[in-house]
Chain A
Amino acid sequence: MTELREAAPSAGTDLLDERTRELAGYCASMIGRLRAIGQRLDQDPDAITEFLDEPEVRFPVQGMLPPPYRSTGEFPAPLVEASSTVLGQVVATEQVAYGDPNVILASPGPSLSGGVVQALADEQQRQRYFGRLTAAPTHTFFALTEPAKGSAAAELETTLAPAPDGGWLLNGVKCYIGNGARAQIGVVFCRRAPGPWGIEAVLLDTSAPGFSGELLPTVGLRGARISRLRFQDVVVAPEDLLGAHRSPSRRGLYGATYILYRFRPGIAAMAIGCAQAACDYLRTHRSTLARWDRHRLDGILDRVAAVRHRTYAVAAGIDAGVVDVAGIGAVKARAARIAEDATRLVAELLGPACLIEHPWVEKTYRDVRAFELMEGTTNLHAMAVFQSLLRGQAASQPVTQQAVDGAARH
């Protein structure tokens, strides 16, 4: 496939050590196959089941699993370990998304809910969740967003009320939940009591009576299988409450914000990978560009390099225990916009009818628009950036304090 890897994909990678660069190269070797699988998923998002044994599908989720649950001997262990950090996830995700972002989003595995389980769950819950993922390909979901409140974690309205026979009953609706309608297990955020510490995270088996899910038709990124979920008197047992052994301020809302901050740079990485891929595609298919068009393309590539560098920096910061809330939101928002701008420019410069004659371009042109809405829109992150401006770029707060400060909206 001549359109692949025309240029070095990772300009701005000076923050990476040798192992992480090796990880990037390893994932880059998967790009051709990922692109083929991604095209198939755009036609049929459930076709991921045809590819479950392929390394391009299996490797990217390995680093999201706790070490005891990872595949042994299948992949280079140092690279799996490297991909378990936030920076490693970002680097790997960028390359995987350069191939096709649908594949990682369509793949069975832990995603955000696994991060919540790792952060909050007791040993029995971890075994229940990750054991299931290890035993068979299992789709999972992370249900936070609601129809009326969006992803405002502190305002959610799904309720967890005491059941007459003990435990709780879950009622409410969640919207725009990746893989929700095809998942077997997931995490639902809900309100047990008023106030920020009245929010809980519960582990839910989708076979539970009262659970239903429906697919929502999206313009692009169909592999994500965005869904609407309904909970009608779903029984939640005491052992389903994640982090019951923790104080209320260290579970529920804390878990949501903790994991969103850790995963948000990954969305930026997907957008960066797609933007770079689009630019490289153009350079492959239009070997000559007018001078002004070259400048326009270079302008996009400047922005890609800048946001990549900043994404790596905030990711490395998270790994070091420093969460720059505004910075994390900023890279997600800017990367999403750059990906849109890149695909629009490429469609323009490729010439008339390119959105018909270049199916990959048309697909990517649709796919990248998802990054704007995933994990908070630009408007939300812009407010965090402004608050950061007001604070005069004060020194970063401890992680836990930032999690509380940033909990209002995500």
Chain B
Amino acid sequence: MNPAPPTSPNPAGTPYPLVLDALHRRAAAGRLVASPTGHVLASTVALPDAPPGPLTRFGLAVAEATPESAFGEGPAADRFASALLPAHRELLDTTLGHALRHLEGRTSGDTTLLAKQLVVGQLADIALRLAEDAFVPEVRRHADRYARWRCHLRLVDIGRDLLRLLGASGFLADGPAGDLHLAEVVGNVYLHPDTENADD
């Protein structure tokens, strides 16, 4: 089965799987970075021989690390993990812009949803949280794996709140929801601080 090409989930941005490929290239030229659990996540273009799975239709492939992968806790893995957070945040910035346009196009009664105080307040709160996250000092953000995980969870919170504002369109795989799901999965694989596995 041929893997599906990466979708174009984001009308205004690069599909997340391709963003991920670029992060791999930047962290370890010519190699793909493996997670501490020994997984490699990249686009279906970068991993054409990966077995099909539930994320294939999102354009994301999952493979076991090979001897050629950049492994473990080394500098390449550290650079890659560091870069995942700004990529996630950039995706949220783009989604926020998308939400503004979307809500302006939706009407209730005689006004757009963007004129509703409830919606405005929620959008402003999201913008504030995004800005706050951007100002977390790098030394704190990347202090250790737990610090990165905390940042990841904050970004996931923001993404979920944004998608709720999009209503049903926030559940479409070819919209921001698809990319944000991938960002959550990638964080679970590469940023989760625990090393302990489940019982089985």
Contacts and interface: CB of A to CB of B under 8 A. Distances in A.
Interface string B109-123: 100000000110010
Contact of A369 (B41, B57, B105, B171): B171
Interface stretch (B10-18, B128-136, B177-185): B177-185
Given A285-B198, A354-B198, A220 B188 contact: no
A370 B156 CA distance: 17
Contacts of A250: none
Contacts of B122: 379
A217 B168 contact: no
Contacts of B178: 217, 219
A379 B181 CA distance: 22
Given A351-B197, A354-B188, A355-B188, A145 B108 contact: no
B168 A176 contact: yes
A38 to B, nearest CB: 12
Contacts, number: 117
B39 interface: yes
Contact of B54 (A150, A362, A377): A362
A194 interface: no
A240 B57 CA distance: 39
B200 interface: yes
Interface in B157-200: 160, 163-165, 167-168, 170-174, 177-178, 181, 184-185, 188-189, 192-200
Contacts of B177: 219, 369
Contact of B107 (A149, A175, A363): A149
B171 A219 contact: yes
Contacts of A176: 168
A148 B105 contact: yes
A101 B107 CA distance: 31
Given A352-B35, A383-B118, A373 B108 contact: no
B97 to A, nearest CB: 20
Given A149-B107, A382-B118, A409-B108, A351 B173 contact: no
Interface string B31-61: 0000111010100000000000111010000
Given A152-B108, A155-B108, A350-B198, 6 more contacts: A217-B57, A347-B188, A348-B192, A351-B196, A356-B188, A379-B119
27 contacts: A43-B54, A145-B168, A149-B107, A150-B108, A150-B168, A176-B168, A216-B172, A217-B172, A226-B168, A285-B198, A285-B199, A285-B200, A286-B198, A288-B199, A351-B192, A351-B197, A352-B193, A352-B195, A355-B185, A355-B188, A357-B37, A358-B198, A359-B53, A362-B185, A369-B177, A373-B168, A382-B118
The 6 nearest A-B residue pairs measured at CB: A352-B192, A353-B37, A176-B168, A217-B173, A355-B188, A373-B168
Interface of A: 42-43, 145, 148-150, 152, 155, 175-176, 216-220, 226, 285-288, 340, 344, 347-348, 350-359, 362-363, 365-366, 369-370, 372-373, 377-379, 382-383, 409
